[in-house]
Chain A
Amino acid sequence: MKNNILIIGGGPAGLEASSILVKMGYNVILVEKEKELGGHLAKWDTLFPDGLKAEDLLKSLIKKTEGVKCFTDTQVQSVNILDKSYNVILSNGITVLADALLLATGFDLFKAEKKEEYGYGIYEGVITNADLEQFFKGKFSIKKPKAVGFVHCVGSRDEKACNPACSKVCCATAVKQACHIKETFEEADVFCFYMDLRMFGRHYEDLYLKAQKMGIRFIRGRVSEVAETSEGRLLVKAEDTLSSKPIKVTLDTLVLMAGMRPSESGYMVGHQLNLSVEEDGFFSTKDTMLSLQKSNLEGLFFAGAATGPKTLPDTLHEARSAAMEIDNYLTKK
């Protein structure tokens, strides 16, 4: 029982699946394109709903991967489908003959500059959810704000941005970040511009109530445009759809909740294997209920956001399911 399993993507899904498979006795090779393991988790400060430190979660995920051959700063150069295995050539020159392949390629954040009307990359005060996490980690600076706004659904639920789907995690992230801002800058006014608040998970609604009690103002309406005032602040316009009136407010920092798009590097791998993607750009699963970890190719599996936006708990569940599916597949073989 020393089958080779190649896992592409060293984020939470890849890490969790690899640690389980290595314990099952398989020979697990994990490939990560960045210099560090962890994917987006490595760039995040705290996690909703309870403010768990991303760093602590990542450390425990990595700790469990003892025995896994990790190649960081490495990409998949080419993949060939052989009779009952995959021949994968990595950018570090190593060739792997894998009996099973797990795509844990995750997502890319929507490029917020594409929504030009919000002024990301034009106005200094306009930042993204990822920038704000870097600020909380002490790796990015913002001027002490008097007023801060959060724009939900940036590059999500937006056909013109080529993504009509909901990215699932941005609502809870925005509310978490809004609370964090209020805790950091007690005097600041904080506004969340939302269309629907999708606080679906356990404890998420509590987070919403906590934010309300902290005095964070929720405005139902999508920000339509952002301009700079003569003092260099941000003039933000939207409709307050609850009172059916246009609304404007001057802010210092505007945080854009960039949504999830399929990862480019994942697409490159999928393309070589002729894997089908759905209209949203994420990989198609074998079916929509019973075989979410399976692809249409024998021996090729998915875990995490490669098949659509997911929360971290969902991603970790999928990683465990994928490990089980791979074990079933290799045992039967």
Chain B
Amino acid sequence: MVEFGFKLSPSSRINLDLRDKASFSKLVEIEPDALKCMACGSCTASCSAGIFEETSLRSALLGLQNGDKEKALKLLSHCMFCGKCTMVCPRGINTRHLILSINKIYQVR
């Protein structure tokens, strides 16, 4: 094949028209706290897994709302359920139940 020097890159833009609204609504049904995050970053800062592998509940929630399920699940895949984020969350979000609920709705074992 002749290499012309052109290539198609996938768009990195978030398209909210394509996001998965239904799954997020289901998540909110079993854990309404999913709506309460104000993106302060306390969970990410205190995460004991985050020191080794990129882990962030804040970013994961944002990813789910932006339709980036893969990224969101990756950001939670190293969670050890230690519960430190529950202690620091200023909005009192039940973060452990939220992460378990995300895994349940978005079908991760």
Contacts and interface: CB of A to CB of B under 8 A. Distances in A.
Interface of A: 189, 191, 208-209, 212-213, 215, 217, 220, 240, 242-243, 245-250
29 contacts: A189-B21, A191-B16, A208-B38, A209-B91, A212-B36, A212-B38, A213-B32, A213-B35, A215-B28, A217-B65, A220-B39, A240-B14, A240-B62, A240-B66, A242-B39, A243-B14, A243-B62, A245-B12, A245-B13, A245-B66, A246-B12, A246-B13, A246-B14, A247-B14, A247-B66, A248-B17, A249-B16, A249-B17, A250-B17
B94 interface: no
B83 interface: no
Contacts of A246: 12-14
A76 B32 CA distance: 56
The list of the 3 closest CB pairs from A to B, nearest first, reads: A249-B16, A247-B14, A246-B13
A213 B93 CA distance: 12
Contacts of B62: 240, 242-243
Interface string B19-48: 001000000100010011011000000000
Contact of A247 (B16, B59, B91): B16
Contacts of A248: 13-17
A296 B88 CA distance: 51
A110 B35 CA distance: 33
Contacts of B91: 209
A215 B28 CA distance: 9
A242 B35 CA distance: 16
A34 to B, nearest CB: 40
Contacts, number: 48
B50 interface: no
A250 B21 CA distance: 15
A247 B17 CA distance: 10
Contacts of A247: 13-16, 66
A213 B37 CA distance: 10
Contacts of B32: 213
Contacts of A191: 16
B28 A243 contact: no
A213 B91 CA distance: 12
Contacts of A220: 39
Nearest to A215: B35
Contacts of A249: 15-17
A245 B58 CA distance: 15
Contacts of B15: 247-249
Contacts of B28: 215
Nearest to B15: A248
Contacts of A213: 32, 35-36
B92 to A, nearest CB: 11
Contacts of B17: 248-250
A254 B32 CA distance: 27
Contacts of B14: 240, 243, 245-248
A201 to B, nearest CB: 17
A217 B35 CA distance: 9
A209 B32 CA distance: 12
Nearest to B36: A212
Contacts of B59: 242-243
A217 B14 CA distance: 14
Contacts of B63: 243
A247 B16 CA distance: 7
Contacts of B35: 212-213, 215
A245 B10 CA distance: 13
B66 A243 contact: yes
B51 to A, nearest CB: 22
A207 to B, nearest CB: 13
B103 to A, nearest CB: 21
Contacts of A240: 14, 62, 66
